[in-house]
Structure 1
Amino acid sequence: MDQSLKSEAKKSLLQLLPIINLKSTSLDQLLGILEGQLRVEKNSFLKHKAELQQLFIECISEIQSKQLNEQPKQQQQPPPQQQQPQPQQKINQNNNKITKEQTQEKEQKKDTKEKENKINKNKKNKKASLNNFEFKENDLFENSDHLTKLSKPNPIIKKQFQNKKPEQEKEKEQEKEKEQEKEQEKEKEQEKEKEQEKEKEQEKEKEKIKKYQQPNEDIATQKMRQSIPGFIACLGNSCMVTENVFRNVKYVHIRKYFLKNGEWRPTKKGISFTKQQWNEFNSVIPQVQNTIKTKFK
């Protein structure tokens, strides 16, 4: 390893070691940090690992020796000498202490005297009130009627108190009454809206039923009507044409009369036909008419 590189590594180590926590960092990590500081290629110090390990030990010993040399200098410095008070200052301090103690004692005595005076005054007032009071045994029985009258509320006094209510309370009561009226009106409006919605739903259901209950028509003049999803209203007497055979009573199967240009195209609303398919189906209607007439006789 070059001496110039070695000296640079030593300088950087002396700066890094007191900052880094050596317990948590390994030797490989320290080598990586050195490579970054000296701007050397990665893993270039692995060849000189033994030399760098000795360098680490030397740097640590130098740092420890510096720390030991600095400690005794700090300890050898004598503490600052406290100025001893002169005799006149001591006398003044003692006098100040005595005066403070005397003032505290005087204040305590004043407080105790004031408390005692208050207690004595209260006792005297109680005694005077008891001496002036004369209790008679028959007072309760003589004035029993008067007590019963007092138990009942006097209507005149009641009216006086009611009339003396402040204006603010009256205003608050009026506001509460107005709010209650508004809430009642809102509830009535909501009930009306609900009733209207129910009526609309009933009307819609009636219209649906009317669509399915259409009057009978001649088979020749009738056109195909879409009704329930998946079904087709065709042929009079409210007969339905579906993809299933229904016992050959009222229902007619389309496949028997129509299988030439492809089958029907089912949609969400029902089954729709092209123009060609419809024309072919129209040509077959008289045959269907004959079959229905024979079965309904």
Structure 2
Amino acid sequence: MSLPRSGFPAVPERLRFATTGQILGFGLLTALVFMVIYPEHSLQRHLERSAHTDNVSIAYLFAWLRADPNDHHLRILLAQRLFDKGDISQSRQILNPVFKVKDLKQELHSKADILLLNLLERQLWTYQPQSATFNNALKHYLQQLRKVSHYSWPQERLEVFAKNAFDFGDTQLAKELYYQLIFSAKTVNVEWFGNIARLYLAQQQYRAAARSYLQAMPYTTTFAQRKQFFLSGVKALQSGNLLPDAVDAGQTYAGMLLADTEVLEYLTRLALAANRPDIAQYYVSLLLKQRISPTGANP
């Protein structure tokens, strides 16, 4: 017995424009057509300027590289496009042979080094923090960062590198990068000195830490900021039980801060702790003058 027919029309079979293989083949064919139509170098320059990461552009670059595997400029360009697209693994695979070339031009070597640093940084955050894989990747990242640290970098990028080295515990590299920022920046951020000082304190290098804090004083922009770095510098020496040095630093760097009551009270206590009652007496006399004429105290 035949079944009754449904009242709904039959669903037509979905038509496919082309299979996946046909689409990829079409992309490759298009790339080959580009190779025929456009002069090689003019198309290369066009691709560099456009920074396209579409499949057709990448397919063209792959085809071009297969035709000339020793075109190192092209290899780096393709690796960069793959990185921009987010294909980290393949980008690294394409880039790796460049580092085996002995006579590579310096410009290309620099581009490859910078791209490798970007790849290592992107890869780093794909691993579980503090895992063995993460720690191994971090080691390679810091090695590469040290390698390219002497390159000319925009200030914003150099700050990121210094912060990364600071956060990841590479004390020496972090200090070098912060000093590089201080010497190269048009406007110096006093916190760079503060970060250097904290790194020295972590190593119990109290004199170096104090020097870093006190070196920041000419770059401060407010009285409160100047006072903060002065006190931090003197206290760094005090924390290392270097009381004579701390007293000397107080006398040398206080300057206009001697108009501040808190600074005078601190320096008085410091001088007494260092068994220098003569210096303490001088600070007390300044405090008494402030109390007689309080309008000049605490700017």
TM-score with structure 1 length normalisation? 0.17
Greater relative contact order (CA < 8 Å, ≥ 6 in sequence): 1
Structure with greater proportional helix content: 2
Give 1 or 2 for the bigger CA radius of gyration.
Answer: 1
TM-score with structure 2 length normalisation? 0.17
